[in-house]
Amino acid sequence: MIERNQAGASPFLLVCDHYGRKIPPQLGDLGLPEAELSRHIAWDIGIAGVAERLSDALQAHLIAQRYSRLVIDCNRPPSAESSIPLVSETTTIPGNDGLTREQAEERRRLIFDPYHTRIDATISERLAAGRPTLLLALHSFTPVYHGMARPWHIGTLYQHDKVLPPLLLAELRREDGLVVGDNQPYAVSDGTDYAIPVHGEARGLINSGIEIRQDQIIDEAGQAEWAERLARVLTAIEATLRAQQAIK
């Protein structure tokens, strides 16, 4: 995994489940050509650059997974069918076909577990120290999925939290020219997500996820623009929550 600004003073704890597309050497290329391994099925294109810049701008602790979601998806319950996908969108993943239980457990033990153990330990350390902690999961989404165009530039992702998502929506909708999705392009659920239900809701944290459309952050200029925008939005939200004494 990758960490950044571990000692940062921000109340925001940033997690990025699909930051990278690394594959363990012993798995080769999972039977896929490079053209497939560079697509959105393997990682959240552009989000790494946004996450790093946002972490630096806010001085917020970032914990990110460098391994590809095709090896094991770190935002899926390990029991979910999509945890180690046989098919992603319309692409079959040969290297995931016919895995034994032991092989699947090895991927969980080597990749999934250390990442989530680190997030859990970080939250515990922050809470024990009395530090306010708002969990924000960073993602990006493909502009077209299964032939359907997606109009949103950014969307919120949430399930039960009633604090952070409305503030995010309000602040983002103040930005000129943005189409902002409310629980779009995905909604969070216990069956299809892991980070928010387990690290956010189960730990009683204020939480949300965001999804940025990948054509907005395909290059460094777009990543810098979005990081600056999100830093501005999150700084305003922090000020609101402190004024409301929701965080201290």
d(CA 62, CA 59): 9
At 248 the pLDDT is: 67
At 152 the pLDDT is: 96
- Predicted model pTM: 0.94
Write out the CATH class of domain 2-243. alpha beta
Model pLDDT for residues 185-194, shown as the tens digit of each residue:
988 999 899 9
Please identify every stretch of the chain with a pLDDT value under 70, giving residue numbers as ranges. 248
At 88 the pLDDT is: 87
Taking the CA atoms of residue 234, residue 240, residue 241 and residue 244 in that order, the dihedral angle to the nearest 10 degrees is 180
Count of Cβ atoms closer than 10 Å to residue 194 Cβ: 21
At 186 the pLDDT is: 86
Tokens for 163? Answer: 């604090």
* Phi-psi label, residue 28: left if phi above 0, alpha if psi -120 to 50, beta otherwise: left
At 147 the pLDDT is: 80
DSSP string, 177-245: T--EESS-S----TTT-SIIIIIIITTT-EEEEEEEEGGGSSSHHHHHHHHHHHHHHHHHHHHHHHHTT
Backbone angles phi, psi at 88, to 5 degrees: -125, 120
At 225 the pLDDT is: 97
At 10 the pLDDT is: 97
At 33 the pLDDT is: 92
* Phi-psi label, residue 89: left if phi above 0, alpha if psi -120 to 50, beta otherwise: left
- Yes or no: say if 2 and 20 are a contact pair by the CB < 8 Å rule: yes
At 189 the pLDDT is: 92
Model pLDDT for residues 177-186, shown as the tens digit of each residue:
999 999 999 8
At 85 the pLDDT is: 93
